[in-house]
Amino acid sequence: MSCEEMKLNSALIEKEILLLVRREQHPFLTGLFASFQTQHHACLAMDCATGGDLTKVMRRPEFNFGAAVFYTSCITLGLEFLHEQNVVHRDLKLENVLVDESGYTKITDSGLCKKKGMGVGVLTTSGVGTPHYTAPEIFKGEPYGKAVDWWSLGVMFYYMVLGKVSVIPPANRINSTETLLWE
C-alpha cells in the first residue's frame, strides 16, 4: 500500500469512527461535525473542545490527583465505548485527549484506529503509536488487541499523577516525539 493510499485509508477509518460517535452522541469522544474533500485533501471538522489537550490542562495550578482520577474516568468510559464497537484506538496519549468547555474529556485523533472489519480481527500486528505510550507487545511485534489502549491509559494516569513517563521506549525504534507507523 502506498503512502497516499495509507493516508486515504486512515482518513476513511477516522471518518467512519467519527460518524459512529456522532450518531451515538458519546460525551467522551469527538464526533464528526462536517466533512469535505478538495482536490488534494480530505477535511474533517470535528466537535469543538476549547479547554485544550491534557498536557495543557496539567500545567494549570488547580490540577491535582482528583483531576487526574476524574479525567481518567472520563477516558475510561470513552475507551469502553470504542472497545464495545470493536475499535482499538492505538494512539491514546495526553495530546489526543481534549477538554471541552464543561470540563469533560473527549478522546480525539482516531486516524490510527483499527476496527474489526476494517483490517483487524481480534488481534493485529501493525506497529503504531507514540513510543512512551506504546504497549510492549507492539514493540515486540506480537499480535495485540484492545489491551494496548488500557496500557496507554495507565501510562497517561501515571504521568498525570507523577508528572513523568513510566516507561522508556526501546532506543532503537524512533524519536520519542514522533508517532510510530510501521507495517
- Distance separating alpha carbons of residues 80 and 153, to the nearest angstrom: 12
User: Rounded CA gap, 61 and 55, in Å?
Assistant: 13
pTM of the model: 0.79
Q: Where are the domains of the chain?
A: 50-182
Catalytic annotation, pick one of 53, 91, 109, 149 = 91
Tens digits of pLDDT across the chain (183 residues): 677 777 777 777 777 888 887 888 889 988 878 778 888 877 777 778 889 999 999 999 999 999 999 999 999 999 999 999 888 998 899 999 999 999 999 998 877 777 765 444 455 556 566 778 888 887 788 888 899 999 999 999 999 999 887 666 555 454 444 444 433
Q: Catalytic residue at 91?
A: yes
Q: What would the CATH number be for the domain defined by 50-182?
A: 1.10.510.10
DSSP letters of the chain?
Answer: --HHHHHHHHHHHHHHHHHHHHHHT-TTB--EEEEEE-SS-EEEEE---TT-BHHHHHTSTT--HHHHHHHHHHHHHHHHHHHHTTEE-S---GGGEEE-TTS-EEE---TT-EEBTTTBSS-B--EEE-GGG--HHHHTT--B-THHHHHHHHHHHHHHHHSS-S----TTT--TTSPEEE-
